[in-house]
A = this chain, B = another copy of it.
């Protein structure tokens, strides 16, 4: 409301708030899509990390949470048949979590059903997508390292 120039440099706080708004909206989109498949957002997030076999501990590290927490989440995913615990051949303490075929299919659908996000990204042309990608890619390392 203060300045009027159409493309004035945004105040840092405004940019911060906008970034937060985008983040929440996308998260909500994800949670909604996950819910349609009977998954909580946390369960879907775990499923999304499982490209290959991953030990419980690795999962906990990725999620930045206590290992004991992962036990329950994987329990519930396993009960639904979306995930499997496999013994690690090299270390008998370790249990590797693997997504089942159904698990992979479900998370694929969740991603594809994030309509709000897809629609939003579709409003950008190719140059804009590239620009956005470049900018976000620059933010990422700093943002993730200092957390």
**Interface residue? A118 (CB, 8 A):** yes
Across-interface contacts of A118 in B (CB, < 8 A) = 12, 16
Pick from B14, B26, B120: contact of A20, CB under 8 Å: B26
**Given A129-B9, A142-B120, are A19 and B147 also a contact pair (CB < 8 Å)?**
no
* Interface residues of A, dominant DSSP: helix
Copies in the complex: 2
Interface hit among A76-84, A94-102, A132-140: A132-140
Across-interface contacts of A145 in B (CB, < 8 A) = 116
**A residues apposed to B, CB below 8 Å:** 7-10, 12-16, 18-30, 32, 64, 111, 114-121, 123-124, 126, 128-140, 142-147
